[in-house]
Amino acid sequence: MYWMKILKLAGTVLILSLFFLTAGAQKSSFRVQIDEHTMVRDSFGTRIPYNTLIKMLSTGGYTLDPVRDKSGRITEYELRNATAADKGKRETIAKIPGAENLPGPKVGDMMPYFETYLLDSTVISSDDLKGKVVVMNFWFTLCKPCIYEMPDLDSLVEKYKGRKDIVFLAPNYEKLSKVKAFIAKQPISYKVCPEAVSLIDKFGVGVYPTHLVISRSGKILNSYVGGLPGIENILKRDIDNALKQ
């Protein structure tokens, strides 16, 4: 499993999207790259080994607070337990080993040919999607940002309920049994594609979640990587633009 490979790979880079409160109580955001050289301590001031750190962050139960020097420069981070207020705002983006070598989905590229199946074993291919706006959500069951945004994505699907010219697909690389067990507890409105390794490889997706909006002609109109606040509004804007084309 990709996620377990992340934990076993010593040099794996973990990327975090962190949202902090500024002095003016306004939210600002930036992306920080954590690697084995980054200084991260616990509340007692003890440095946390990198391999231990990524295992703890991967659970979604912890977050990082920046520690600044007198000039305001971030010199290290402090690990603490995540709270309800952090949910959906401090999100781990899981990066699979070798992702940096993947081409990745690029705006302007054409959707590659693929065949995959849905939870009910129905086979669907890119040919079936011709003339339709396609919205893709690449995810997996242990991806905390993926889970946080699911209610918002369900709301997005509901907005276009009844339209046959829009297809919402959720490719996942995990085994059918694992995906079904997850969905039994957390229903998903997208059409889920389990064991879609070949599809994922063809799109070159290496970071989760990744969202794509594809035009009726099969061109990738927009690509969004990582957990993004307000993703449902971002996707709705793109979908509405695509429907006008």
pLDDT band at 58 (very low <50, low <70, confident <90, very high): low
Q: Give the CA radius of gyration of the chain.
A: 19
State phi, psi for 184 to the nearest 5 degrees.
Answer: -65, -30
The predicted pLDDT at position 207 comes to 80
The CA distances from residue 164 to 63, 130, 161, 234, in Å, are: 41, 12, 9, 21
DSSP class of residue 64 equals: E
The predicted pLDDT at position 103 comes to 56
The CA distances from residue 74 to 70, 158, 185, in Å, are: 10, 42, 40
Q: Give the pLDDT mean for 157-178.
A: 94
Is pLDDT at 19 greater than 80 in this prediction?
A: no
pLDDT band at 130 (very low <50, low <70, confident <90, very high): very high
pLDDT digits (tens, 9 = 90+) for 84-100: 766 555 444 444 445 44
pLDDT band at 43 (very low <50, low <70, confident <90, very high): confident
Q: Give the pLDDT mean for 29-40.
A: 65
Q: Give the pLDDT mean for 55-83.
A: 80
State phi, psi for 232 to the nearest 5 degrees.
Answer: -65, -35
Q: Give the pLDDT mean for 155-181.
A: 95
Domains, the chain: 2-95 (no CATH), 102-244 (3.40.30.10)
Most confident of 108-112, 149-153, 189-193: 189-193
Share of the chain above pLDDT 70, in %: 75
pLDDT band at 82 (very low <50, low <70, confident <90, very high): confident
- Residue 129 corresponds to which amino acid? L
- Residue 109 corresponds to which amino acid? D
pLDDT band at 158 (very low <50, low <70, confident <90, very high): very high
The predicted pLDDT at position 240 comes to 94
pLDDT band at 32 (very low <50, low <70, confident <90, very high): low
- pTM given for the model: 0.64
pLDDT band at 63 (very low <50, low <70, confident <90, very high): confident
Share of the chain above pLDDT 90, in %: 44
The predicted pLDDT at position 83 comes to 76
Helix, strand, or coil here: 5?
A: helix
Averaged pLDDT of the chain: 79
Q: Which of 230, 205, 236, 231 is nearest to 102 (CA)?
A: 205
Q: Give the pLDDT mean for 145-162.
A: 91
The predicted pLDDT at position 145 comes to 81
The predicted pLDDT at position 28 comes to 37
